Amino acid sequence: MEIKSVGIVGAGQMGNGIAHVFALAGFDVLMTDISQDSLDSAVALIQRNLDRQVQREKISAEDVAKTMARIKTTLKLADLGQSDLVIEAATERETVKTAIFEDLLPHLKPSTILTSNTSSISITRLASRTDRPEKFMGFHFMNPVPIMQLVELIRGIATNEETFNACLAVVEKLGKTSASAEDFPGFIVNRILMPMINEAIYTLYEGVGSVKSIDTSLKLGANHPMGPLELADFIGLDTCLSIMNVLHDGLADTKYRPCPLLTKYVEAGWLGRKTDRGFYDYRGPEPVPTR
């Protein structure tokens, strides 16, 4: 099962990064979104990021031209039906993802593999809403996609070996490293990472440390490249809360209870970098802690 063409649903932060790495690796990419502006912005961002790679001497100008030529966009979800592989990278809400797959199903060729870039939602459950649970799996990229080396491959209960091996071969062609995870809430990375971030927020909530002292402590005391609150802002506080709720609901353990302060920030619309305010205020020349 050789994969040559890839359809990507969603042109946001994850979708454009996924399109970038696939096109650079030689795949034909068709990206869709509900907004033409989003598609245009994604293509422009891919161009800028590729140019940055040229400046760092990672790739050549010729590579950029070839990569951009492989990327096409469409507003019609049905156009992705002839792709060998479809990667859904829409909002982290199960109802949205399920609706996308239901709309896509009538247009798919029989051999198409369906995957989701979900960071926490059950692959088995998503697969069960399709006509091909054996050809469905989790394909979880890390953000930012062009830089991060890991891809989590998550098999649902029905995923067959042929599908897994085809996706494994794709990861190798992308020049990335795969980690195989079982289909339980949060998989591997977020099962470990999100409770750490949530605990950092509890540490702030309980007054043990300030935003600055917590982030400095983890950067210098644990050699993390980014503090947990800074990282939460980068990921998006709404996404962090969504994943914590999935962990709490799916594993029924109080240690996964989302911190009330995280909920409060999300209710305020302070979602991190994407809204210019989270645990830091990004509206000035330098980020300023908001607590």
State the catalytic residue, choosing from 190, 198, 230, 242: 190
Active-site residue identified among 119, 120, 122, 242: 119
Given 88, 92, 94, 152, which residue is catalytic? 152
How far is residue 13's CA from residue 36's CA, in Å, rounded to a whole number? 15
The closest alpha carbon to 185, from 135, 130, 243, 134, belongs to: 243
Which of 242, 238, 256 has the alpha carbon at shortest distance from 198? 256
Active site residue 190: yes
Contact 45, 33 (CB under 8 A): no
Helix (H) or strand (E) holding 85: strand 85-88
- Cα separation, 122 vs 139, whole angstroms: 12
119 an active-site residue?
Answer: yes
* Number of CB atoms found within 10 A of residue 260's CB: 11
User: CA angle at residue 195 from 190 to 199, to 5 degrees?
Assistant: 150
In whole angstroms, give the CA distance from residue 104 to residue 49.
Answer: 30
Two tokens, residue 86: 């479809």
152 is catalytic: yes
210 is catalytic: no
Catalytic residues: 119, 140, 152, 190
